[in-house]
Every structure is written in structure tokens, then in C-alpha cells.
């Protein structure tokens, strides 16, 4: 587990920077809306970094990551993993400065979205709904809403700017101060205004094939000028959340055009949700990791040679939901099974490859059914042991199987010792994945070879005496026949 030393060292220094301070509303949003998605530890890291700032300061003093480890009482690896969650969800931006004397990091804390931005966000709102369920989601949303006011019953009396203020006359402006005024209005190039704008969630546009979507999309229905930057961002988000392919997205976009004038983003979102309900289920998609993190993979730059190495490669490069689809011969994964997978990734913090090993082990043990109680028990054990590599998970799975075999043999021996009569019933053999049994089969064959009795001198003598006895019997029969 030394992978994180390549990215981050305890002696590396860091400085915290903010663009504006957290309001009471911001803190409630982070705790109530963001924390269910990133977890308590990531939330704690964000607030700990925030407390490094003195009052009315926007920069913190420089300190090492070792001090952060001591303060939070967690290892450096956990800090690194939780930091990535904050970065991905838009609460943190990380910058690195590498020098000969060591590396230093700048952690720029970002303000959370407003409640309106959060609940209108196509990604975060769907995942929060999935995590909390309908009732709790609505309770939280109600907490950040207020009753609308029917302004039609009122007459607006608000004064405009030019009704109250007036512009200075040219004669009132001193000519020799014009250059000073112009200079004063300019911002120093080495400075920037406090605050932030834009959306804090970033997506890689290359992950969605816009060209394929545009080729399939009729230019008569959706002219290319309607695909504005805002529309493209909405398409990327919806494709990510609902796993919509470009060809399917082109049809959805075509349904969201209003009078050939614009693409209605709200209607686009609604059509994407309707498509997901028809194609998959009424349950919203759950938040999950993709594949096993590259830093924990052991077969990235190695060509698998043995059967076990091929299995490790498969587990490391296959998402858990895809594994379930493969085990179901491409059939749809039941929502209950999908929630079990999400629990392994989110609640027990298992990495996807490790979750794959656990899923396969339980599936083959229980006739291709996921036993949640057993999964929770094993997942908790593996989480406590901090298993990050697929090979280590496979070793633990073998140990689990050995314990089960030993316990079964003991129970059978106890039952057979008490049994006085009646035929012995055949016990059911558990179905197991090939990687879990092939090593045991090799050991079993070796044991059988060792136990196979070879021809001894005693057995040879007994056979000779038996042959002589048979010859004597045949000889006596012949003599009686002659008489």
C-alpha cells in the first residue's frame, strides 16, 4: 500500500486559500446536501481545511501534511482519497508546486452551490435523491424553499437607478484626473477579485461523442446553432447520469426543441428522465465508481500469462454493475442488486475490483443470488483490513472458503459418529468460481497421489496363495471326472 507516496508525502507542505467566507447557509448546504454524497470523512477534511484560516484572512499559514494527519487522526492515504472526492464534487481545487527542496500544495476551497443551484443540478440532485430516498429528499428540499409571493396583487414602487442618481456633467470632471480615474478602475494584474463564478462541477467532454450525435441529428430539426455551450453542458451531464449513448441522445435532443428556436433544457432533462424510466426503471441511477483505481491495479502494464492473472485483470478493468450484467448473461440488473453494489462502494468504501471479487464469491456460493447479510459481513471485514488490491481480496476469499469447508467437514464427522444405521447422504457441493477451486483441486490431486497404495510384498504373496488354491481346486475336479 505504498502507492500514495508517489503522489503525496507527509513532509509536503500545503496552504489553504479561499475566495470568500462560508455563510451559515453554506455550512448547512455542505452538511445536509453534500455530505450524503461524499461521506463524513470528506466533509470533515473540508471543514478542517477551512479552520486553518484565521479570522478575516484568505490565506493560511503553511504547514505539512503530517500535521493534518495528526489533527484528523487518519493516514495520509485517507486524506488523499477524501481530497479527490472534494475535488470531483467541486468543493476543492488543488494545485502543486514541485521544487528541488520538496513539493508544496495550494488547496483552494470553493463555495458550495446555493440550494437553488444544487437542486436544479442534473447530477447532484439525482444522486442525492438516490442516496436519501423520496421522503427525506423532499424534506430537505422543503427546508430550503419558501412560499411564492403573488406579486400581481401588488404595485411595484421600486425606483430605478437613474431616478435617484444622475451622471456627472463633463464640466464636473477635472481633466487632469481622468487618467487617474482610468488607472484606479483597472485591477492589478497580480490580484483578483474575491468570489467565484461558473459551475463547480467539471466533466471531460471527450467522454461523449458529440460528432456522432450531430451526424445522427437532423439539421432540419435541430440546427447546429441551437447547440449552445449551455445546451452542450446539459447534454454531457445527462449522458453521464443516465448513461445515454450519442445515438439515443440525438433523439432526446430532437424532442426538446421548441418551435425551431431553441433547445429547452428543462424539457431535455424531462425527456432524458422519461427515457431512463422506460429503458431501465423508475428508480434514479445511483452514484458509483467506474473501475478499479489505476494506482491499485497490478496488471496495468503487464500482459497476463496465467489464468489467475487474467482473472485479476478482468476484475480490475470491469465495473461491478457490468460484472453483474455479465453473470446474468446481459440481463437487466435488479434495483436491489444495484443498491447492494452501491452499498459496497459507498458505505463500506470498497474499491470496484475488490467489490467484484466479493460479488463473484457470493454469487457462486449461493446459486447466483446475492445474499445481503453475508455480503455485509464480509464487506465489513475487508473494509477493516483496508483491502485495496484484487489479489489480496482473492486470498481472503479463499480463506473464507477454507473456513467454510473445515466447518462443514466437522459437522459431517460429528453427524456420522452419531449415526448408527442408514445410508449416508451425499452433501451438496458449492458452486465456486474457477479461480477459487483450481488451487484446491491441485492440492487434492497431490494428496490423492500420496495416499494411493502401491503394491506391497504382502499383497503379492496373498495373490500367489490365492492362485495356488484355485489351481488345486481345478486339479481335484479333473481327477474326479477321470474316476
pLDDT at 449 over 60: no
Q: Virtual CA dihedral for 411, 412, 415, 420, nearest 10 degrees?
A: -170
Residue with cell 422506460: 278
Q: For residues 283 and 400, which has the higher predicted lDDT (pLDDT)?
A: 400
pLDDT at 291 over 80: no
The whole-number average pLDDT for the span 387-403 is 89
pLDDT at 241 over 90: no
pLDDT digits (tens, 9 = 90+) for 77-114: 899 989 999 999 999 999 999 888 888 999 999 999 99
Tell me, what's the pLDDT at 172? 46
pLDDT digits (tens, 9 = 90+) for 15-58: 999 877 888 899 999 999 999 999 999 999 999 999 998 877 88
Tell me, what's the pLDDT at 136? 92
pLDDT at 446 over 80: no
Residue 283's pLDDT band, with cuts at 50, 70 and 90, is low
89 neighbors 37 (Cβ within 8 angstroms): yes
Residue 414 Cα to chain centre, angstroms: 45
pLDDT > 70: what percent of the chain?
A: 73
Tell me, what's the pLDDT at 282? 62
Tell me, what's the pLDDT at 431? 63
252 neighbors 211 (Cβ within 8 angstroms): no
Tell me, what's the pLDDT at 225? 81
Residue 410's pLDDT band, with cuts at 50, 70 and 90, is confident
Which range is least confidently modeled, 346-350, 396-400, 428-432?
428-432
83's grid cell:
481530497
**Phi, psi of 407, deg, nearest 5:** -65, -40
The mean pLDDT of the chain is 78
pLDDT at 63 over 90: yes
Tell me, what's the pLDDT at 170? 46
Tell me, what's the pLDDT at 272? 85
The whole-number average pLDDT for the span 297-319 is 85
Residue 210's pLDDT band, with cuts at 50, 70 and 90, is confident
The whole-number average pLDDT for the span 462-476 is 64
- Residues 195, 197: Cα–Cα separation, whole Å: 7
pLDDT at 324 over 80: yes
Residue 456's pLDDT band, with cuts at 50, 70 and 90, is very low
The whole-number average pLDDT for the span 419-423 is 53
pLDDT > 90: what percent of the chain?
A: 25
Amino acid at each position: 500500500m505504498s502507492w500514495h507516496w508517489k503522489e503525496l508525502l507527509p513532509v509536503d507542505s500545503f496552504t489553504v486559500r479561499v475566495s470568500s467566507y462560508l455563510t451559515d447557509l453554506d455550512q448547512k448546504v455542505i452538511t445536509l446536501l453534500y455530505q450524503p454524497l461524499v461521506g463524513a470523512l470528506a466533509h470533515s477534511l473540508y471543514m478542517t481545511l477551512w479552520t486553518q484560516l484565521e479570522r478575516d484572512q484568505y490565506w493560511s499559514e503553511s504547514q505539512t501534511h503530517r500535521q493534518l494527519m495528526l489533527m484528523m487522526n487518519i493516514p495520509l492515504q485517507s486524506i488523499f482519497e477524501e481530497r479527490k472526492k472534494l475535488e470531483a464534487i467541486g468543493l476543492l481545487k488543488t494545485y502543486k508546486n514541485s521544487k528541488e527542496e520538496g513539493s508544496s500544495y495550494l488547496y483552494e476551497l470553493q463555495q458550495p452551490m446555493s440550494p437553488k443551484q444544487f437542486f436544479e443540478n442534473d447530477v447532484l440532485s439525482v444522486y442525492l435523491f438516490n442516496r436519501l430516498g423520496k421522503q427525506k429528499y423532499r424534506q430537505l428540499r422543503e427546508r430550503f424553499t419558501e412560499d411564492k409571493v403573488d406579486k400581481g396583487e401588488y404595485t411595484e414602487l421600486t425606483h430605478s437607478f437613474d431616478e435617484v442618481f444622475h451622471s456627472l456633467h463633463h464640466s464636473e470632471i477635472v481633466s487632469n484626473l481622468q487618467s487617474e480615474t482610468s488607472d484606479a478602475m483597472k485591477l492589478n494584474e497580480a490580484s483578483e477579485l474575491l468570489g467565484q463564478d461558473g459551475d463547480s462541477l467539471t466533466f471531460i467532454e471527450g467522454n461523449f461523442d458529440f460528432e456522432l450525435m450531430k451526424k445522427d441529428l437532423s439539421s432540419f430539426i435541430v440546427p447546429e446553432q441551437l447547440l449552445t455551450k449551455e445546451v452542450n453542458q446539459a447534454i454531457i451531464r445527462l449522458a453521464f447520469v443516465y448513461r445515454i449513448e450519442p445515438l439515443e441522445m440525438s433523439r432526446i435532443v430532437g424532442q426538446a426543441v421548441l418551435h425551431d428556436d431553441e433547445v429547452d433544457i428543462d424539457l431535455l432533462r424531462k425527456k432524458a428522465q422519461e427515457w431512463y424510466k422506460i429503458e431501465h426503471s423508475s428508480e434514479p441511477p445511483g452514484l458509483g465508481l467506474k473501475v478499479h483505481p489505476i494506482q491499485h491495479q497490478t496488471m496495468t502494464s503487464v500482459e497476463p500469462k496465467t489464468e489467475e492473472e487474467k482473472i485479476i485483470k478482468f476484475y480490475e478493468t470491469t465495473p461491478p454493475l457490468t460484472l453483474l450484467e455479465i453473470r446474468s448473461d446481459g440481463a437487466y440488473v435488479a434495483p436491489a442488486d444495484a443498491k447492494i453494489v452501491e452499498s459496497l462502494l459507498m458505505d463500506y468504501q470498497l474499491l470496484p475490483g475488490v467489490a467484484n471479487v466479493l460479488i463473484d464469491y457470493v454469487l457462486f456460493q449461493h446459486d447466483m443470488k446475492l445474499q445481503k447479510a453475508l455480503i455485509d459481513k464480509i464487506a465489513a471485514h475487508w473494509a477493516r483490513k483496508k483491502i485495496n488490491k484484487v489479489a489480496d481480496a482473492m486470498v481472503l476469499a479463499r480463506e473464507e472458503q477454507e473456513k467454510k469447508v473445515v466447518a462443514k467437514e466437522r459437522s459431517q464427522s460429528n453427524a456420522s459418529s452419531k449415526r448408527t444405521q442408514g445410508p449416508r447422504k451425499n452433501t451438496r457441493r458449492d458452486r465456486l468460481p474457477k479461480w477459487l477451486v483450481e488451487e484446491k483441486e491441485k492440492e487434492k490431486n497431490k494428496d490423492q497421489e500420496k495416499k494411493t497404495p502401491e503394491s506391497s510384498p504382502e499383497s503379492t504373496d496373498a495373490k500367489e496363495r490365492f492362485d495356488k488354491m484355485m489351481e488345486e481346486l481345478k486339479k481335484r475336479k479333473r481327477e474326479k471326472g477321470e474316476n
